[in-house]
Amino acid sequence: MTIWFTSDTHYLHANIIKYTGRPWDSRNDMCAALINNWNEVVNKKDEVYHLGDVSLGPMRDTIEILQSLNGRKHLIWGNHDSPLHKDAFRKEFVSCENYRELKIQDADAPRGKQHIVLCHYPLYSWNKAYHGSWMLHGHMHSLIDETNRTTTRLDVGVDSHNYYPISYDQVKKIMSERAYQPVRDDGNTSVKK
């Protein structure tokens, strides 16, 4: 089983193509490509954490798309995930939350577990940032990728990853190439050992 992360698919949202410069001529072409990309890498037994902004279209069509996607899907609510659709989403996702913290078994991580904070929005500071925790988010459509390079924060949205979900191992590789000095709530970068 592989763990995957993604965000900001914006299925059925024609305007997202021009807003973010996505390489498709229509929302149907975009949806078909995003569904194909997802199912190309995600297997049926994999876990997928979608960090919000699933779709901006009719719920009937959105449900059809969700049912076509491989994996056990978890949702972190995004700002475009309408409160009117929460009941429908709860039927399609294993879990639906505003925020989540994961601990993934990993022999290379501190104490054998990698701590990950999941939120739709990028956080400036997050739980256990001083202790190697990662912060995964969406919402920004690759706009802060350059800023994120100096942190252990990562935009997992499709716009930042060639329109594919990103695996835990891919995130781990990205994070291994970063040096991060956590910033305390007071803005100070010095950390007591």
In a domain, 139, yes or no: yes
User: How many domains does the chain divide into?
Assistant: 1
Is the pTM here over 0.75, yes or no?
Answer: yes
Token pair of 41 as six digits: 């890498």
Domain range holding 25? 3-176
Residue 193 pLDDT class (50, 70, 90 cuts):
very low
In a domain, 191, yes or no: no
Per DSSP (E only), the strands in the chain are 3-6, 47-50, 72-76, 95-97, 99-105, 113-119, 134-137, 153-155, 166-167
In a domain, 113, yes or no: yes
For residue range 77-134, list pLDDT tens digits in order: 999 997 777 889 999 999 999 999 999 999 988 789 999 999 999 999 999 988 889 9
In a domain, 184, yes or no: no
In a domain, 186, yes or no: no
Distances (CA, A) of 152 to 25, 57, 85, 102: 34, 33, 32, 15
Mean pLDDT, the chain, rounded, equals 92
In a domain, 66, yes or no: yes
In a domain, 188, yes or no: no
Residue 22: which CATH number? 3.60.21.10
In a domain, 73, yes or no: yes
For residue range 13-48, list pLDDT tens digits in order: 999 999 999 999 999 999 999 999 999 999 999 999
For residue range 49-63, list pLDDT tens digits in order: 999 999 999 999 999
